[in-house]
Structure 1
């Protein structure tokens, strides 16, 4: 029930953003959106999908590198299928896929799930760091364009919200946070020696082993290379996507970088980025002179290509996992790890 309520909440946010963009559209604007969708060259999305599959494959290869210092060598296919099923789960509930893919690898490769959660946290921390670095680079090289967008769409809303909160409300929030921290500390002290406390410590220890594995890996150079390669492929997907519409073909590398970074935020906040991705892509492209209706249509095209990729390959992976592991002998699975 909590997962279902979380899904409903995030989905409502996404659908609310879709409504926010579309409810005041005139008939002409709606016609312009459908006209842009109708005249797009969808065949040019095939390279986008191919690059997308390659990025997910190298994500699986990179994940394997984090497991090696702990003595685990899962099969590449199992790891790739787990990654794709994880993305499929993320379409329902944001971040649910991270736990899902850990569970799949734990089941088919007999690796403790707590250690896998640690590797996943480490992997996501690296991705978040790269996203922040790219975000800073994007703002610096386009301070006149992206700086204004950041101030208008992110900083001013936060500033207004803080300004309207009032001092008394702020003190209540701070007091509630302090009380919550104290209660958490007291609860942990009470259960520290219980069976539950012992299990929690064991889980935390396994997670820490997974995180620490990055510092212990022998192939750090390959890990860095794959991390950069994955984001270069994300960037290539966005740049290639511009060519599917006549109105966006003139956009350059800077625009592709900006759409990638800001669109990535939308993919995080709602299930599969529904609503938020299209809204943020539209706002970004409008800064580069693209009509609002065309920009909104482009957001839907790119989002649909990515979602279709996850649906097809994710569902295929879900079917292939039991078939692959049933057909393989232990020696074959060992050979797959090479």
Structure 2
């Protein structure tokens, strides 16, 4: 039930953003959107999908590198299938996919799930760091374009809200925050002495082992290489996607970087990025002179290509996992029987 409610909440946010963009459109603007969709060359999305699959494959390879210091060497295919099923789960509930893929590898590779969660957290931390670095680079090299967008759409509204809050209100909020922290400390001490607390500490220890595995890696150079390669492929997907529409073909590398970074935020906010991705991509492309209707159409095209990739490969992975591991178990049992003879 909590997962279902979470899904409904995030989906409502996404659909709300779709409504926010479309409810005031005139008939001409709606016709312009459908006209842009009809004129798009969808064959040019094939390279985008191929690069997307490659990026997911290298994500699986990179994940394997984090597991090696823990003494585990899972199959690359199993790891790749788990990653794709995880993306499939994320279409339903944001961040559910991380737990799902850990569970799959734990089941088929017999690796403790707590350690896998630690490796997943470490991997996501690296991705978040790279995303933040790319954000800074995007703003610095396009301070006149993206800097203004960030200032007007994010910083000034936050500053105004903080300025509107009186000093008394700020003191009340600070008092509440201190009270919550104190209650948390007391609750933690009480729970830590119970049997549940002992289990939680054991789980946390396993997760910490997974996180520390990055520092123990012998192939740190390869890990850095794959991390950069994954984001380079994400960037290539966006840049290649520009060529499917006449209205975006003239856009350059800087625009592709901006759309990638800001669109990535939309993919995190709602299930599969529904609504949020299209909205943020539209707002970004409008800064580069693309008409709002064409920008919105482009957001739907790229989002649909990525979602279709996840649906097809994710469902295929879900089917292939038991078949692949059943054949491996059968061959392993056969070899064991021959040895016994």
| TM-score in terms of structure 2 length | 0.95
1:168 pairs with 2:171: no
Kindly state the Cα deviation for residue 333 of structure 1 after the two structures are TM-superposed. Answer: 12
Instruction: Tell me if the contact between 1:75 and 1:337 (Cα under 8 Å) persists in the aligned partners.
Output: no
CA distance in 2, matches of 1:174, 1:29: 47
* Alpha-carbon displacement from aligned partner over 1:306-329 (angstroms, at most 9, x marks no partner): 00000111111111111111111x
Kindly state the Cα deviation for residue 332 of structure 1 after the two structures are TM-superposed. Answer: 11
Kindly state the Cα deviation for residue 152 of structure 1 after the two structures are TM-superposed. Answer: 1.6
CA distance in 2, matches of 1:118, 1:139: 32
For this pair of structures, how many residues does the alignment match? 336
Kindly state the Cα deviation for residue 337 of structure 1 after the two structures are TM-superposed. Answer: 25
Question: Which aligned segments of 4 or more residues in structure 1 are displaced greater than 6 angstroms?
Answer: 331-338
CA distance in 2, matches of 1:295, 1:304: 14
* Alpha-carbon spacing, 1:27–1:210, altered in 2? closer, same or farther (3 Å): same
More displaced stretch, 153-162 vs 19-28 = 153-162
* Alpha-carbon displacement from aligned partner over 1:259-286 (angstroms, at most 9, x marks no partner): 0000001101111111110011001000
When Rg is computed on C-alpha atoms for both structures, the one with the higher figure is 2
Structure 2 counterpart SS, 1:213? helix
Kindly state the Cα deviation for residue 110 of structure 1 after the two structures are TM-superposed. Answer: 0.6
Instruction: Tell me if the contact between 1:279 and 1:296 (Cα under 8 Å) persists in the aligned partners.
Output: yes
More displaced stretch, 144-153 vs 174-183 = 174-183
Structure 1 counterpart SS, 2:247? helix
Kindly state the Cα deviation for residue 175 of structure 1 after the two structures are TM-superposed. Answer: 2.4
In structure 2, the gaps of 5 or more residues are: none
CA distance in 1, matches of 2:321, 2:150: 43
* Alpha-carbon spacing, 1:332–1:54, altered in 2? closer, same or farther (3 Å): farther
RMSD over aligned CA atoms reads 2.9
Kindly state the Cα deviation for residue 183 of structure 1 after the two structures are TM-superposed. Answer: 1.6
Structure 2 counterpart SS, 1:150? helix
| TM-score in terms of structure 1 length | 0.96
CA distance in 2, matches of 1:128, 1:333: 44
More displaced stretch, 101-110 vs 155-164 = 155-164
Kindly state the Cα deviation for residue 158 of structure 1 after the two structures are TM-superposed. Answer: 1.8
Kindly state the Cα deviation for residue 88 of structure 1 after the two structures are TM-superposed. Answer: 0.5
* Alpha-carbon displacement from aligned partner over 1:98-150 (angstroms, at most 9, x marks no partner): 11100110111010100000000000000000001011011111100100111
* Alpha-carbon displacement from aligned partner over 1:69-100 (angstroms, at most 9, x marks no partner): 00000000000000001001111111111111
* Alpha-carbon displacement from aligned partner over 1:198-229 (angstroms, at most 9, x marks no partner): 10110010010000000000000000000000
Partner of residue 335, structure 2: 333
* Alpha-carbon spacing, 1:327–1:288, altered in 2? closer, same or farther (3 Å): same
* Alpha-carbon spacing, 1:171–1:213, altered in 2? closer, same or farther (3 Å): same
